[in-house]
Amino acid sequence: MLSYDMTKNGSDSLYHYLYKCIKNDVLQGTLAAGDKLPTKRPFAEHLGVSVITVENAYAQLLTEGFIYSEPRKGFFVADIAEKLKKSGLAATSSRQNFPESREAQRISAPDDLPPRFQKLQSRARSKIIADFTSNQSETSAFPFSTWAKIMRKVLCEQQNELLERSPYGGVLPLRVAIAKMLKGSRNLDVSPDQIIVGAGTDYLYGLLVQLLGFNKKYGVEDPGYSKISKIYRKLNVVCNFIPLDEQGVRIDQLEETCTDVVHLSPSHHFPTGIVTPVSRRYELLSWAAKSSNRYIVEDDYDSEFRMVGKPIPALQNIDVQEKVVYINSFSKTLASTVRVSYMVLPRSLAEKFHEEFSFYTCTVSNFEQLALARYIGEGHFEKHVNRMRNFYRHRRDALLSAIRKSKLRDFAAISEEDAGLHFILKINTALSDEEFCNAAKEKGVVIGALSDYYTQAEPSAHQFIMNYSAVPEKQMPRAMEKLYEVVKSIS
C-alpha cells in the first residue's frame, strides 16, 4: 500500500498534504495510469488519518482529473500523459477535421502544475511543427475584453430577461440583430420571425429534418464535409452523395438519385473552394421549384472569410419561390467560446415551424443570446470579422510566401487561395495520398488530402488541403522544408 509520512504536512491540512503527495506520484509516474488507489478505510488506518481526510484528498484529485472512479471498484490513476500527448497531436477546433474524427479530450490543467508536468505537456506538443488539418482560432485574436464588458452589462442590466424563458426561435433582440446583420453583410431581406437560433449547426440539421420530413431523400455534396452526411444518416434518413462538376452539384445527379432536399455550400464549397455561378444557382432553384417536396439547404459556413472581393451573394437572395433554407453559425467567428448558429426559413416553412415546433425550448442560454445580440448590435461583430479576415489574410500570405521561398515550390501548385482559411496544394509526388500524409506526419507536419473528402465520386490524387488559420507564421518555413524532404525522399 502507498505510504506517506503524514507528519510532514507542515502548514498544509492533512487532506491537502495527502492530495499533493498522490498528485506528485501521478505526475512523476510513480503511480501509473490505471493503477488502483488503496481503498479509503484501510488506507486511512495505514496512514493514521481519518477516512474523511482520504475521502477529501480523493475528491480533489477526482475533480482535477488526476484519478477517476469506477463504480463498485474504486479509484484509479487517470491516463494523463496519454491525454496530453493526444491533445498535442490533435489540438483541433472545428469541423474541417473530420477524416480524423476521434477528437482529443484535453485534460484541464490545474492552476498549480509542478514544472515537470508542464514539461510533459510541452514535450508532447513539440513534436508537431505545423498542423494544417486544424482550424482552431487564435487566442490572441479573440476579443476577450469586449466580450467581458458586454457580459458584465448583460448581467447588470438585463437580469429579468436572463431569467425569462426564451422564445423557441431565440430572444427577439438577437433575431433582430441577426436580421440586420444579414441585410448588411449578405443583402438578405429577412424578418426576425424567419430566424431560428440554435446551439450549433449539428442541432439545426436535426431540427430541419423534423421540419422537412424523415421520409424525404437528402443529398450532400461529394466531396464535402463528411460530418454532414454522418448527421443525416444518424437521423435515419436517406442521404445521397451528389457529385460536383466545376460549378457545384450536378443537377442531373439530383434528378437521378431522386433527391428531395439538397444540402449545399454554393458560395464557399469546402474543400474544393468552388463558387457556384449564378446560372447554376438558377438551375438549382428551378430544380427545386419542380416539386413541393424539394428544398435547398444553403450552408453558408465560413462565407465571412472569403479573402478577395465581395462575399458571393447568397442563393437565398434570388429565391422567390421559398425554397431555400439559409444556415450559418457564429462558432467559426467566435470559436467554441460561443455555440450559436441560426437558420433562416422561407416564410411558409417558418409558419409551419411556429405552428408545430413552438413547444421546443431554445437550445441557447439567454445569457449568450443577449450578449451576442449586443455584440452584433453595437457593431463589435462586424469589426471582429474584419479584423479576423485581415489576420487570416496575413497568415495565408505568409504561407504562400513560405512555399514560394522553399524548394517545395518546384513540386507544388496552389489553387483556390481566395476561398478563405484554406487552399489546395497540389504536390508532384509518386507517393499515394495516404503515404504522403503519413510521411509528413512523421516529420511533424499534419496535413490532409483532398481525396479524404470524397465518398463515392472519383477523387484526383496528390492534392492537399492547407488550413492555415491555426499555424503560427514562424513555423511555416520549417514545415515547408519538411514537406520538401518528403517529396525528395522518394524522387
Site for a second copy in 70-129 (CB under 8 A): 70-72, 91-95, 98, 101-108, 111
Q: Which residues contact 266 (CB under 8 A, 6 or more apart)?
A: 248, 275, 276, 280, 281, 284, 298, 312, 315
Residue 177 interacting with a second copy (CB under 8 A)? yes
Instruction: Return the number of the residue (58 or 436) whose C-beta is nearest a second copy.
Output: 58
Q: How far is the CB of 464 from a second copy (least distance, A)?
A: 22
Please give the distance of CA 208 from its chain centroid, rounded to a whole number.
Answer: 20
Residue of 81, 73, 70, 72 whose CA lies nearest to 31: 81
Work out whether 52 is an interface residue with a second copy (CB under 8 A): no
Q: Does 252 bind a second copy (CB under 8 A)?
A: no
Q: How far is the CB of 51 from a second copy (least distance, A)?
A: 15
Name, in order, each residue with C-beta under 8 angstroms of 145's C-beta and a sequence gap of 6 or more: none
* Summary count for the chain: helices (H), strands (E): 18, 16
Q: Which of residues 313-352 bind a second copy (CB under 8 A)?
A: 331, 335-340, 347
Task: Spell out the residues 6+ positions from residue 474 whose beta carbon is closer than 8 angstroms to its own.
Answer: none
Handedness of CA 139, 145, 150, 151 (dihedral sign): positive
Q: Is the peptide bond before 110 cis (omega within 30 degrees of 0)?
A: no
Q: Cα(138)–Cα(136) distance, rounded to whole angstroms?
A: 7
Contact 79, 85 (CB under 8 A): no
234 binds a second copy (CB under 8 A): yes
Q: How far is the CB of 37 from a second copy (least distance, A)?
A: 14
CB of residue 226 vs a second copy: minimum separation in angstroms?
A: 8
Q: Which is nearer to a second copy, 328 or 331 (CB)?
A: 331
Instruction: Pick out residues in 142-161 that bind a second copy (CB under 8 A).
Output: 142, 144, 147-148, 151-152, 155, 157, 159-161
310 is a contact residue toward a second copy (CB under 8 A) = no
Tell me: does residue 139 bind a second copy (CB under 8 A). Answer: yes
Residue 385 within binding range of a second copy, rule CB under 8 A: no
Rule CB under 8 A: is residue 241 a binding residue for a second copy?
no
How far apart, in whole angstroms, are the C-alpha atoms of residue 398 and residue 395?
5
Q: Which residue's CB is nearer to a second copy, number 358 or number 428?
A: 358
383's CB contacts (< 8 A; 6+ apart) are none
- Nearer CB in complex with a second copy: 159/456: 159
**Strand order in 448-449's β-sheet?**
412-415, 422-427, 463-467, 448-449
235 counts as binding a second copy under rule CB under 8 A: yes
User: Looking only at residues 179 through 208 of this chain, which bind a second copy when binding is defined by CB under 8 A?
Assistant: 179-180, 183, 189-193, 199-200, 202-203, 206
Residue 175 vs 280, nearer CB to a second copy: 175
68 touches a second copy (CB under 8 A): yes
CB of 380 to a second copy, least distance (A): 14
